[in-house]
Amino acid sequence: MSATVFLFALLCLNLTPCVSGGKILVWPSEFSHWLNVKVILDKLIERGNDVTVVTHSATPSVNISPASGYNVEVLQVPHTKQDIKDNLEAMLKYWTHEMTTDTILQASQKLKELSDTATNHNLATCRELFSRVDLLEKWREEKFDAVLADPGFMCGELLAQKLGLPLILSLRYSFGHTLERLCGQIPAPPSYVPAIGSEKTDKMDFMQRLRNIIFYGAQDILFYLGPTFYWDPFYSKVMGKYTCTIYFHTLYLFVNLIGDLRVYWCLS
């Protein structure tokens, strides 16, 4: 009897289908945003998935050594690692030591200047990415299952669209919760939820609530102006005949774009 049960169990095991890992293409951001994505990558690799990280030659965060556990594609960019570090240090210095003494308009102007520098670095990386037709074709042939991207570093959604892949967004935070609110549709009443970057807590008096509301509005304006001047023309050029409008109460991507782009948000 026991032999019959054993043979039956063995037969059932032989009928169990095999499961193979997937292939994930990763478009990460830098510093703490990279650490946020790295936690996900470690679990994906641990479970047998094949992970390829696309980064640039000036990255101060991504480990591009062969011992990293993932495949790496490095894009050559004109700026340096020190350029990125200097801009971050300037932003942190202003945020932690100087912003509290400035008016909302002064703070917004300074943050815009620092953000413009980061945007130019991002734009240079995107230009290099979509000029590499050979890389795009190689990735199509490798048949990835999805693109994992940080929406704080633009072009991940455009890469997913060009490759015809589902898009997974992992976001740590954005100033004023702008991406989370306008794109991820999370509820964040400005009179109750302190904006990231404002140094407010959930215990606010009337004037603090008023400043918080103004800060939200200023960040929304900055995020609308950035795409209008920087990204709408670039995305439209890459997509060719399509006109692209970013951020305007969509799931992060296109208006007037025919096609199916599946977008998944992972807010942490």
Q: In this structure, is residue 13 part of a structural domain? A: no
Q: Which of 189, 188, 181 is nearest to 251 (CA)?
A: 181
Q: Which of 156, 132, 145 is nearest to 73 (CA)?
A: 132
> Other C-beta atoms within 10 Å of 199: how many?
13
Q: Which of 38, 92, 86, 82 is nearest to 62 (CA)?
A: 38
The per-residue pLDDT for range 158-199, each reduced to its tens digit, is: 999 999 999 998 887 777 777 777 776 778 888 888 887 777
Q: In this structure, is residue 16 part of a structural domain? A: no
Q: In this structure, is residue 12 part of a structural domain? A: no
Query: Structural domain tally of the chain?
Result: 1
| pLDDT score recorded for residue 53 | 98
Backbone angles phi, psi at 122, to 5 degrees: -60, -45
Residue 28 belongs to domain with CATH number: 3.40.50
Higher pLDDT, 251 or 132: 132
The per-residue pLDDT for range 50-94, each reduced to its tens digit, is: 999 999 999 999 998 887 899 999 999 999 999 999 999 998 888
Calpha distance 213→194 (Å, rounded): 9
| pLDDT score recorded for residue 103 | 82
Host domain of residue 89: 21-267
**pTM attached to this predicted model:** 0.80
Is residue 144 over pLDDT 90? yes
Element containing residue 149 per DSSP (H, E): strand 146-149
Q: What value does the mean pLDDT of the chain take?
A: 82
Calpha distance 144→67 (Å, rounded): 22
Q: Which of 187, 158, 190, 156 is nearest to 170 (CA)?
A: 156
Calpha distance 186→176 (Å, rounded): 12
Mean pLDDT of 245-257: 43
The per-residue pLDDT for range 1-40, each reduced to its tens digit, is: 566 755 666 566 565 555 567 999 999 999 988 999 999 9
The per-residue pLDDT for range 99-142, each reduced to its tens digit, is: 778 887 888 788 788 888 999 999 999 999 999 999 999 999 99
| pLDDT score recorded for residue 222 | 76
